[in-house]
Amino acid sequence: MGRLEGKTALVTGAGSGIGRAITLRFAREGARVVAADVTGAQEEVAAEAGGVVHPYSCDVADEESVRGLIEFCRQRFGRLEVLANNAGISGGRARIHEMPMAEFDRVMAVNVRGSYVVLRHALPLLLLAEGGASVVNTASIGGFRATPESSPYIVSKGAQIMMTRVAALEYVKDGIRVNAVCPGTTKTAILDGSPPELLEMLSGRIPMGRLGTPEEIANLALFLASDEASYITGQCWIADGGRSAG
């Protein structure tokens, strides 16, 4: 028996990186997974999973698109037991007074408003789950540790951490647990093509001496989504190779 056997899960940002790894991990653990992404790559993930992943095109920055996603889940399965609220973007680099407001707004639209809208519309289905449900938000070590010239992203991840905590308190009596994974620097497609010296610099500031993998973050998301984490809610779990320890 898989740890999510018989459960229905929704993963946003499922087409690549951490979202792809979460989708495939949940599927291997017995879940029926709705894989939502704006890029179209969710179709490839569904094909790789072999029939237990149901792809859906969704832009979390568009509330009507999110409504359509949740209605798809409702019509197909009638309920949700797990939400991996993962979709997010990184944003540009500049000091605050040089950061275009359009860039700040773009990051907030996906990382904060998008995450909030997905959670808001998914909750009625999560409330229908017999035996409780679980939400796993994808925040970041950036919600705890500031990085210069990345203010839109850092601010957005701080907001996701507080969204996790307030939702946990609001829905704990309904049997819905809400937690977050907070990855450090992870080897995803955003780093593809990066010069070796950049990758060496990024790895060198991590005590473990390497970047994390999407699969390692997916393993943590699986634990939080499963009944093994039945006494855990409102927590933001850092997985950063020890960087935040010192």
What is the DSSP secondary-structure string of 15-51? TSHHHHHHHHHHHHTT-EEEEEESSSTHHHHHHHHTS
Separation CA 59–CA 27 (nearest Å): 22
Separation CA 208–CA 43 (nearest Å): 34
Tokens (6 digits) for 95: 């000091």
Q: 71: which residues sit within 8 A by CB, 6+ positions away?
A: none
Separation CA 212–CA 156 (nearest Å): 21
List of long-range contacts for 203-211, beta carbons under 8 Å, 24+ apart: 205/243, 206/240, 206/241, 206/242, 206/243, 207/241, 207/242, 207/243, 207/245, 207/246, 208/241, 208/242, 209/241, 210/241, 211/185, 211/186, 211/187, 211/241
Tokens (6 digits) for 236: 């933001």
Dihedral through CA 172, CA 176, CA 177, CA 182, nearest 10? -120
The answer regarding whether domain 8-238 maps to CATH 3.40.50.720 reads: yes
Tell me how many degrees the CA angle 88-176-125 measures, rounded to the nearest 5.
75
Task: Work out the angle between the directed axes of helices 63-77 and 115-126 (0-180°, nearest 10).
Answer: 20
Question: H or E stretch including 12?
Answer: strand 8-12
CA 206 from centre of chain = 22
CB 157 within 8 A of CB 138: no
What residues does each domain of the chain span? 8-238
Q: Which are the catalytic amino acids? A: 153
CB 242 within 8 A of CB 211: no
pTM of the predicted model as reported, rounded to 2 decimal places: 0.96
- Residue by residue, pLDDT tens for the chain (246 residues) are 899 999 999 999 999 999 999 999 999 999 999 999 999 999 999 999 988 999 999 999 999 999 999 999 999 999 999 999 999 999 899 999 999 999 999 999 999 999 999 999 999 999 999 999 999 999 999 999 998 999 999 999 999 999 999 999 999 999 999 999 999 999 987 777 778 888 898 899 999 999 999 999 999 999 999 999 999 999 999 999 999 998
Q: 173: which residues sit within 8 A by CB, 6+ positions away?
A: none
